[in-house]
Structure 1
Amino acid sequence: MTQPLVTLAVPSFRQGRYLNQALSSIFAQDVPVEVFVMDGGSDDDTLAVLDRWKDRLAGWRSHPDRGQSEAINEGITKGRAPYVCWLNSDDWLLPQGLARLLAALERAPGSALAYGSTWDWVEATGRRRRSLVLPFSEWAMARVNVISQPGTLIRRSAWEAVGGVDSGLHMAMDYDLWWRLYRHSGAPVRVPDMVAVNRVHAQTKTNTQRKRHYQEAMAVVRQHHGKVPLKWWLAYPYAVWWRGWRGSAK
């Protein structure tokens, strides 16, 4: 049996309507994976989807937990593959996405993280747009999260060295992780290819908890960069109040 190269955690809660697409995209990759689904005790059709995939999964559970970050860490810890990542159950990978990220890390043995380009797929309109993904620099990272989480792959040794995601964070855990990996191993490797899709829908935490998300992100910048650039304060009214009002008015 081929040994897995990637441990992939799938945190999920009441996402049964999306989970099958996420798992299908993972098992369509041409990279050997071990997949652990960490479900928070869903009462929708999640268990039926998991039953459909049980022979392909390395493990799964469904019970209440303390949130997404804890579920991600739990799933990664269960595996042993040399590379790790997580895919939220409402996102999906594009064909050969993992292979492109894996190749980039194997060409750069000193790097902890590879990231590629991703699409945002807007559920309300059925249209896609390019996610905000930029060349890496500390200047840019201090002003915006330049890395799109579904399009990432991490070396396990680096993941373990920094302790995985911060279980105390519930909104900006990925942003915080990129900073810690950067401090540990230097700048990540950027892959020019489209590797994944981020689903944008009304129930995402980013849409339903805008103020908390923005405040957590600002705290992350302050912790790792030493100060919060003016951009955050200028953008706050639009990002939190205006966009939140527009969303609720629809």
Structure 2
Amino acid sequence: MNKPLFSIITVTFNAENTVERTLISVKQQSFRNIEYIVIDGASKDRTLSILQAYQSDIDQLISEPDSGLYDAMNKALNIARGEYICFLNAGDKFHQEHTLTQIVSQLDNLNFSPDVVYGETALVDNNGVFLRMRRLSAPKSLTWKSFKQGMLVCHQAFFAKRELVSTYDLQYKFSSDFDWCIKILKKANSTYYTQLTLIDYLHEGLTTANHKKSLMERFKIMSKHYGIISTILYHVGFIIRSIFKK
């Protein structure tokens, strides 16, 4: 079995109630060719002491003030060495202990090396209990134009080759990951749908808590990539379809 190196990145800030499940999930992965990077924003609670308890499982741990989530992610990207980048933030976890093994097994049977590997996402509550599958399902075929319909693939279930990855645009405070994924897909020559549930995603994340501001940013991002007229027409069509569904 070929063994690509996965850079798994966790960003934390005052996450004492959720971060341990993420650390355990990474530690329990049966596939071990991973580089685990944790960037903490100088947490004021017990987060750092919890991270230090798992120090042997973390390749690089940085705890210092930052300018927010995406600034911390950029710090990690600047030091990541893996062939594939995977973000797994505090409270999120791999769906099962063999998730990476299953991905690598599938990749090993391909006659190409996909630029983006992706799958499905389950939503969980603060206790890690399953709530439901994500409303938007991952498409069988994924291109940069797919995101005209919204973020069809959860950021955490989107594994991109490091060579295609750029830093996050810090002008966006809540939806820079949406912009980031589109930019990667514009460069990608190939994508691969695993048909697996890859991630258990903590439902009360930053974007969920700032839903309206996130939607406004996404509109700006879609206008930038797809054009303002196309974006307006899509949203008008969405509103009309929603009315007739009622």
TM-score (normalised: structure 2): 0.83
Bigger drift between 106-115 and 37-46 goes to 106-115
1:165 corresponds to which of 163, 168, 185: 168
Note if contact 1:10-1:37 (Cα within 8 Å) is conserved in structure 2.
yes
Q: What displacement does 1:22 show? A: 0.3
Partner residue in 1 for 2:21:
21
> Is residue 2:147 matched to residue 1:145?
no
- Per the alignment, in what secondary structure is the counterpart of residue 169 of structure 1? coil
Partner residue in 1 for 2:101:
99
Residues 56 and 122 (structure 1), Cα distance of their counterparts in 2 relative to 1, 3 Å cut: closer
Note if contact 1:16-1:49 (Cα within 8 Å) is conserved in structure 2.
yes
Partner residue in 1 for 2:124:
121
TM-score (normalised: structure 1): 0.81
Residues 125 and 117 (structure 1), Cα distance of their counterparts in 2 relative to 1, 3 Å cut: closer
Q: What displacement does 1:33 show? A: 1.1
Q: How many residues align?
A: 229
Q: What displacement does 1:16 show? A: 1.5
Residues 183 and 139 (structure 1), Cα distance of their counterparts in 2 relative to 1, 3 Å cut: closer
Note if contact 1:13-1:41 (Cα within 8 Å) is conserved in structure 2.
yes
Residues 124 and 23 (structure 1), Cα distance of their counterparts in 2 relative to 1, 3 Å cut: closer
Partner residue in 1 for 2:80:
79
- 1:82-101: CA deviation from partner (whole Å, max 9, x where unpaired): 22111111211122222333
1:192 corresponds to which of 195, 206, 209: 195
In structure 1, what is the Cα distance between the partners aligned to 2:236 and 2:196?
33
Q: What displacement does 1:229 show? A: 4.4
Partner residue in 1 for 2:182:
179
Note if contact 2:125-2:131 (Cα within 8 Å) is conserved in structure 1.
yes
User: What's the C-alpha RMSD, in Å, of the aligned pairs?
Assistant: 2.5
Extract unaligned runs of 5+ from structure 1. Answer: 237-250
Q: What displacement does 1:187 show? A: 5.3
Partner residue in 1 for 2:137:
133
